[in-house]
C-alpha cells in the first residue's frame, strides 16, 4: 500500500477523466485518438490537474464504448498504436502528469479470441475461462441470476445452441463474465497489469470491481415470495457482491505493489452505502473506492451536508482516503443542476476533503447534449434517469470553429458537438476571466497551494440558514471556510467568533459585508474564505 502520510500524489492530486473517443481527433475519422490526447496535454497542465484516467483504449468491437475488450494488451487502431500509448506516457510524465488506465477484468467482448475458443467446444482448452452451466431440469437457465443492463433485463444466462450450455453474461450478452474461480484467468489478468505497469502507467481504475466472481455452488438468489429481490444489484449475494472479489483484488494489489507509488481505484455501485465504500477499500487493498455521493444524493444543502459529514467521519475512522466526483462516462454532467449551481458544485468538488475527479469538459460547464436518435451510439443505457450516455460523451470543445476543433472541419464527429459549442469552448473561455474554465483553474491553483484544502481535516459548520452548507478545512494552522448556498434564494450568513476573514474565491454573487462579519450568498453561489 502507498504511504499513509497524507502527501501521496493520489491523495494530494486531482484526477481528470478522459473519454478517449471524445477528446481530440487527429486522423480525421471523427473519433478521438491517443495522439490527440498528447496534443492536448498542455491544456491539462494549464488547467492544473495531476493525473489522467483514460477510459478504455484497448482493442474492441466498441459495442460498449471499449468496455468490451478483445485484447487487453493491444491499443485499438481507432485510438492508435502501442507506440502512441508509450508516447502518451512519456509526454505526460515529462509534464509531471500521471496516467491511470481503465482495467476491465470482469468480462470481455464476446469476440475476444479466448471467448470464441471457450464457446467452440465443451472440451475447449479455455472452456472454463468463462462461466458455463448445463440448463436447469426444465431446459431453462441454470439459476435465477439476472442481467444488470437496463436495456436487456432478464436472465444473465444465455443459451449457446451449439454446445447446449448456458453462458453467464451479467452486463450484456456481448460481454460474457470471466470465470474468476479459475486461477488461469486471475493469472492472465495479473499479466495484463504487469504489461501496462512495465510500460510505466501509474495505476488503474478497476471496472465493475465489486462484481468479480460468482457463487461456485450456483445458488439461486433468494427472492421474496418468488419475485425478484427488491434491489437486485444491491441485494444479490450469489451472483455478485461475493466476498471472493476482495481476495481477487488483494491478489491484484500485490502485483501492483511490485511497482512503487501506483494507485488502484475501484468502480463501486452508484448507491453503495458509505460503510461499504470504506470496508471495500480497506479489505480489497483499494486506494480509492469510487464515491458517487455528489451524484446520487439530492443536491440540497441538507442532504449534501449530511452525506459529506457521514462520509468524512467514516473514512477518517476507517483510515481510508475519501474521493469525489460530479459526473463520469456513465453519469450526467453537473450542468444538470443548472446555473449557477453547476459552478458551486465545482467549487464544492475542489474544496471537499478527498481526491476530486473532474470529468473532461466539466471544466467548461459542457451541457448534456440532446443527441438525436439517429446519431446515438450507446446501446446499454445505465445512466441516471434513463438518459442515453451519449449525452455526456460528446466531443470536447476546443474552439468556436467547425466541429469545435475536435476533428478536422471536413470530418463528421462520432457524436454531435452540440449547438452551443460556439460559446462553451476552451478558446472562448480562456479569454473570459469570469468563465467556468477560469473558475475551475483558479480553484485548482488554490487547492494546490493550500494544504488545508488538500490534506486538511474537515468540520461541518452548523446553524446555517436553510439551503446553505458550510465546512472548515484546517491544516498546519491554516483555516479555510467554504460556504455554499444551494437554494434558489439569496442567503445571509453571520460569522460569529471568528476574526475578519479574507475572500479567496467565489463563484460569482457572493460577498463580505459589515467588516467581514456577514457573508451575502446569492442563490446557488458559493464562497471560500480564509479565516485568521
Binding site for ligand GLC (CB under 6 A): 64, 67, 104, 171, 207-208, 267, 329-330, 380
First-to-final CA distance of the chain: 37
Judged by beta carbon, residue 266 or residue 491, the one nearer ligand GLC is 266
Q: Are 285 and 305 in contact (CB under 8 A)?
A: no
CB of 404 vs ligand GLC, minimal distance in Å:
23
- Report, in Å, the least distance between residue 31 CB and ligand GLC: 17
Chain centroid to CA 471: 25
Nearer CB in complex with ligand GLC: 172/507: 172
Per DSSP, 333 falls in state -
Active-site residue among 76, 102, 207, 505?
A: 207
Q: Sheet containing 157-160: give its strands across.
A: 132-133, 165-168, 157-160
Q: Strands 491-494 and 518-521: what pairing?
A: antiparallel
CB of 107 to ligand GLC, least distance (A): 7
In 355-411, DSSP assigns E strands to 355-359
Minimum CB separation of residue 245 from ligand GLC in Å reads 15
Whole-number minimum distance, CB 243 to ligand GLC, in Å? 21
Nearer to ligand GLC among residue 208 and residue 245 (C-beta): 208
CA atoms within 13 A on the CB side of 108: 25
Cβ proximity to ligand GLC: between 105 and 522 the closer is 105
Residue 210 or residue 485: which is nearer to ligand GLC going by CB? 210
Alpha-carbon distance 21 to 36, whole Å?
A: 10
Instruction: Give the shortest CB-207-to-ligand GLC separation in angstroms.
Output: 5
Q: Which helix (H) or strand (E) holds 73?
A: strand 71-75
**Which single residue brings its beta carbon nearest to ligand GLC?**
67
Sheet bearing 468-475, strands edge to edge: 457-460, 468-475, 478-485, 526-531, 502-506
Q: Of the two residues 171 and 471, which places its CB atom closer to ligand GLC in the complex?
A: 171
Query: In the complex with ligand GLC, which residue's Cβ is closer, 376 or 479?
Result: 376
Instruction: Write out the H or E segment, with its range, that includes residue 89.
Output: helix 82-94
C-alpha grid cell for residue 113?
A: 479470441
Contact between residue 57 and residue 83 where contact means Cβ atoms under 8 Å apart = no
Find, among 407, 396, 400, the residue nearest to 428 by Cα.
400
319 is a catalytic site residue: no
Grid cell of 373 as nine digits: 436518435
- Burial label for 82, CB within 10 Å (0-12, 13-18, 19+), is middle
Helical H runs in 257-365? 274-284, 293-296, 301-318, 341-349
Annotated catalytic residue within 267, 287, 330, 363: 267
Closest distance to ligand GLC from the beta carbon of 40 (Å): 22
Q: Compute CA distances 2 → 9, 205, 416, whole Å.
A: 10, 16, 41
Catalytic annotation present for 207? yes
Catalytic residues: 207, 267
Amino acid at each position: 500500500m502507498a504511504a499513509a502520510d497524507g502527501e501521496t500524489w493520489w491523495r494530494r492530486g486531482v484526477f481528470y477523466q478522459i473519454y478517449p473517443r471524445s477528446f481530440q481527433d487527429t486522423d480525421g475519422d471523427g473519433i478521438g485518438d491517443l495522439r490527440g490526447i498528447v496534443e492536448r496535454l498542455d491544456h491539462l497542465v494549464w488547467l492544473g490537474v495531476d493525473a489522467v484516467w483514460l477510459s478504455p483504449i484497448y482493442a474492441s468491437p466498441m459495442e460498449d464504448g471499449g468496455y468490451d475488450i478483445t485484447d487487453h494488451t493491444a491499443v485499438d487502431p481507432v485510438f492508435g498504436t502501442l507506440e502512441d500509448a508509450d508516447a502518451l506516457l512519456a509526454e505526460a510524465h515529462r509534464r509531471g502528469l500521471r496516467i491511470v488506465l481503465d482495467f476491465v477484468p470482469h468480462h470481455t467482448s464476446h469476440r475476444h479470441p479466448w471467448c470464441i475458443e471457450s464457446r467452440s467446444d465443451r472440451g475447449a482448452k479455455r472452456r472454463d475461462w468463462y462461466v458455463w452451466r448445463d440448463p436447469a431440469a426444465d431446459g431453462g437457465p441454470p439459476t435465477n441470476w439476472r442481467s444488470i443492463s437496463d436495456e436487456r433485463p432478464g436472465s444473465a444466462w444465455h443459451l449457446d445452441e451449439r454446445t447446449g450450455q448456458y453462458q453467464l453474461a451479467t452486463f450484456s450478452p456481448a460481454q460474457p463474465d470471466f470465470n474468476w474461480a479459475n486461477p488461469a484467468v486471475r493469472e492472465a489478468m495479473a499479466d495484463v497489469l504487469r504489461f501496462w505497469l512495465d510500460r510505466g502507467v501509474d495505476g488503474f481504475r478497476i471496472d465493475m470491481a465489486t462484481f468479480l466472481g460468482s457463487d461456485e455452488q450456483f445458488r439461486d438468489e433468494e427472492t421474496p415470495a418468488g419475485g425478484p429481490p427488491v434491489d437486485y444489484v444491491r441485494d444479490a449475494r450469489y451472483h455478485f457482491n461475493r466476498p471472493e472479489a476482495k481476495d481477487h483484488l488483494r491478489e491484484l494489489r500485490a502485483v501492483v505493489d511490485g511497482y512503487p507509488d501506483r494507485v488502484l481505484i475501484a468502480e463501486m455501485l452508484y448507491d453503495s452505502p458509505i460503510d461499504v465504500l470504506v470496508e471495500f477499500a480497506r479489505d480489497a487493498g483499494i486506494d480509492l473506492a469510487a464515491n458517487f455521493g455528489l451524484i446520487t444524493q439530492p443536491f440540497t444543502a441538507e442532504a449534501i451536508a449530511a452525506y459529506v459529514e457521514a462520509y468524512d467521519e467514516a473514512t477518517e475512522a476507517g483510515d481510508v482516503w475519501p474521493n469525489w466526483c460530479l459526473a463520469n462516462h456513465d453519469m450526467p454532467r453537473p450542468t444538470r443542476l443548472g446555473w449557477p449551481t453547476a459552478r458551486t458544485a465545482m467549487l464544492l468538488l475542489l474544496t471537499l476533503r478527498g481526491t476530486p475527479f473532474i470529468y473532461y469538459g466539466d471544466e467548461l460547464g459542457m451541457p448534456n447534449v440532446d443527441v438525436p436518435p439517429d446519431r446515438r451510439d450507446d446501446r446499454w443505457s445505465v445512466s441516471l434517469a434513463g438518459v442515453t450516455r451519449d449525452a455526456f460523451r460528446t466531443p470536447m470543445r476546443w474552439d468556436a470553429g467547425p466541429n469545435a476543433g475536435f476533428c478536422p472541419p471536413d470530418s463528421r464527429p462520432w457524436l454531435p458537438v452540440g449547438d452551443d459549442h460556439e460559446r462553451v469552448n476552451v478558446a472562448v473561455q480562456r479569454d473570459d476571466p469570469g468563465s467556468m474554465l477560469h473558475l475551475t483553474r483558479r480553484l485548482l491553483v488554490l487547492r494546490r497551494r493550500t494544504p488545508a484544502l488538500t490534506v486538511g481535516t474537515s468540520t461541518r459548520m452548523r446553524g446555517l440558514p436553510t439551503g446553505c452548507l458550510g465546512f472548515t478545512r484546517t491544516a498546519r494552522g491554516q483555516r479555510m471556510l467554504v460556504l455554499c448556498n444551494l437554494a434558489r434564494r439569496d442567503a445571509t450568513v453571520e460569522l460569529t467568533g471568528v476574526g475578519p476573514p479574507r475572500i479567496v474565491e467565489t463563484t460569482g454573487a457572493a460577498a463580505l459585508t459589515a467588516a467581514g462579519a456577514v457573508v451575502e450568498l446569492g442563490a446557488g453561489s458559493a464562497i471560500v474564505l480564509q479565516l485568521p
